[in-house]
Copies of this chain bind each other. A is one copy, B any other.
Amino acid sequence: MAKVSLSAIQELRQITGLGMLDCKNALEATDGNIEKAIEELRKKGTSIAGKRAGNTTAEGIIVSYIHPGDQSGVLLELNCETDFVARTAATKAFAQDIAMHIAAMKPQFLAQEDVDAAWLAKEEEIARELLKNEGKPVAMIDKIIEGKMKKIYSEVCLLKQAFVKDETKTVEELLKELIAKTGENIRIKRFARFEIGN
């Protein structure tokens, strides 16, 4: 039988609420695989929530912004380290500003690394062809493309966009100011933007 780690036993215990020994036995039977252990326990009729309980370590706030006229709206999650910072006026004002920014500036992604690779490759191909058709020398094209890609990020990524209420800084820079002010790590976790007819 496989030897299972104490941390795996503790994690399974936290998810299921079962005793240490029950968790250990279940994990030994599935070579330490937690998902499988839960499945096997459920098959035996052990009472466990069907889906994994959420990992509720993060603090933060959820805010929304509905643009006047009710034709577009944004939902935003901001995470921080303590509930105290989540409730400060500075944090709340930042979250509201960013929700309003998203409504206006329509970012498609949160960060640079979230940009859809296939979409980006297609954009690059189109830009490259266009430059070729314009008769630009091949040596120059790579340089121009690099600049173009940077510009694309600043158009579609929330963190790279110029902040709508002060275009001298990006949303990322504004976030860094808030982090400096509160002395706590804060991140924009996710957002949803709906618009009628889109």
Contact = CB atoms under 8 A, between A and B. Distances in A.
Interface of A: 39, 42-45, 50, 54-66, 70-77, 79, 86, 122-123, 126, 129-130, 133-134, 190, 192, 194-198
A55 B198 CA distance: 6
A198 B62 CA distance: 12
Given A63-B70, A73-B75, 6 more contacts: A44-B133, A55-B197, A58-B196, A60-B196, A62-B72, A192-B192
Contacts of A198: 54, 56
Nearest to A54: B198
B194 A190 contact: yes
A133 to B, nearest CB: 6
Contact of A130 (B43, B65, B76, B196): B43
Nearest to A73: B62
B197 A57 contact: yes
Number of copies of this kind of chain in the complex: 2
A130 B42 CA distance: 7
11 contacts: A43-B130, A43-B133, A44-B133, A45-B130, A45-B134, A57-B197, A62-B73, A73-B75, A74-B75, A77-B194, A77-B196
Contacts of A58: 196-197
Nearest to A53: B198
Nearest to A71: B62
A182 B40 CA distance: 50
Nearest to A123: B50
Contacts of A50: 123
B77 A75 contact: no
Contacts of A74: 75
